[in-house]
Structure 1
Amino acid sequence: MSWPEEHGGRGLGPVETLVVEEEFARAGLRRPQLGMGETLLAPALLAHGSEDQKRRFLPRILSGEDTWCQGFSEPETGSDLASLRTSGTVDGDELRINGDKIWTSHGGQANMMFLLCRTDRDAPRHQGISFVLVPMTDNGIDVDPIRMASGDRGFAQERITDARAPLSNVVGGLGNGWAVAMTTLGAERAGKAATQYVGYRHELDVLAERLDKNGRLGDVIVRQRLAELVVEVELMRAVGSVIGARVAEGETVDKLLAIDKVNWSEYHCVFGSTALELLGASALTRPDGDGYQLDSLQRVFLESRGRRIARGSNQIQRNIIGERILDLPR
């Protein structure tokens, strides 16, 4: 919805996009999205891509011909993205890529990956990194799904051996990938900040409905706990509105996003624990069915723990808050 009209979008701003998200939520539906191609790669292409790259890749996102995943995280590098080890070697008019990626959302379903690799090992840490668009099919990329605590296999690890990508698939030019990656991460965090409360409010409604069905909604203590969760969600809504407005005005909101990241991820853990606690014994049984069945609130409880790491670990975000907002020493 936020893409420029000349590239097939609606040209909507953050506030207009939020209105659409709210209306879908009120109807009990998820807004259709085109995955990471729409939400993460497209902002980077629109900001840093050549006209040829926009012409080649944006229509294939809209048509569904390409499904994308993000190859940033690597084994043993933790949250220090600049310490990546995957290498990209110029070979004629191509890059030859070798390395490993991990925690790749939807890596098992994607046919394309936008990844970071180091193309100049003599450059400073945040330089010499390139942002490359790499085909995954029959291209030296072995994908191993990772099973999560919830039973899902939404993550994957990739072992990359001599994968090839034309130099024309390098976004922003060789060695300039850090700036492109920051655009991608900024789009991910800012986009979620303005709209994520919609999902959290829906989870609250699900919890209240189940408590009502169990005859527990009249309990004063239960209602007090729910009220505390409602306040937290409404605070996230207010902060998200501020972030959305500032993004619309072209401001850099990295500091606000660090605070927001800590707030929503810690809230989600509290919500997951509180939901199962209030539901009582019924939360300990799994629905009937084959496989590893979970209801939606059990899934929240298990998956919310990883939210403290996703989109930048909370330890790193607290460092950012301490150093860049509170002016504390490193």
Structure 2
Amino acid sequence: MTPAPRLRIGFILAPNFTLSAFANFVDVLRLAADEGDRSRPIHCRWTVLSHTGRAIRSSCGVSVTPDTDHANPGDFDYVVVVGGLIDDKARLAKSEIAFLKECAKAGIPLVGICTGAFILYRAGLMQDRKCCVSWFHHNDFMDQFEGLQPISDRIFVVDRDRLTSSGGASAAHLAAFLVDRHLGRSAARKSLNIMIVDGRAEGDAPQPGPPMIFETRDPLLRRALAMMQDNLGAPLSIEAIARRLDVSRRSLERRFKAQIGVTPAQASVEIRLTHATYMLDHSDASVAKIADATGFCDASHLTSVFHDARGITPAKWRRGDRRET
């Protein structure tokens, strides 16, 4: 006789959900549920829910077909909401929000992955709870939920019966946390080892990726900064950014100087330097490759700009010798 699963997870996928976050979470469950990677849902069971019964399209275009359009809160130990793109199309159906509220009333813990925390907050299901949001979406959260301060320097946060994760690889670590809680540490470690994820990270582990250097609530400046962030390897000219924003270069420069304290050109260089610094600290890439990835002409150009800004060469920074000789 097959034993009852010790961990039962229901998934609600928002339209335009992030496929990698969902896949990472599920794969930890899959590998913990059986011997080796045989994938039988013995110790864990996972179910994709949709009250419409229709396939849900992810942000990358791949669709996932739900397992059922009927469920009871008591069928699950946790219900996980996987978010993704932040737009009006990414909202859950009223019936799905109603189901989440039923789960909360029944005491079923709710989990928000990626922008799933946005969905839970919007549904009124995060009262007096802290939440984890990706550093990339920190300002988006502040804009939507005035007065609330998300945690954007950790990979996941557990606050009583609400668990939130920044998404991506951190979804695997949150899933491993639940597997450890219900099946034991060896099962969690096994899943991550097979997935070639380096060790099980606790929730207070820092989020990877460079921090948001400049913070502003100005929508136009945020769009400008996003363009700089999205075009690291081939930086846009300030004229091109201004043209895309339908403003003059002079107007854009005045706005940057007034609200951020630097010119757009200075902001662009600092964003690229921050990414270069992050790559020096977290990769084995050569200085030449880092220069190419962050929009500098070559290793010599990056070294010159880096030295002017940091007072040290990239090579010495990587060696940990932060004192210029």
- TM-score w.r.t. structure 2 length? 0.23
Q: TM-score, normalised by structure 1?
A: 0.23
User: Greater Rg, structure 1 or structure 2?
Assistant: 2
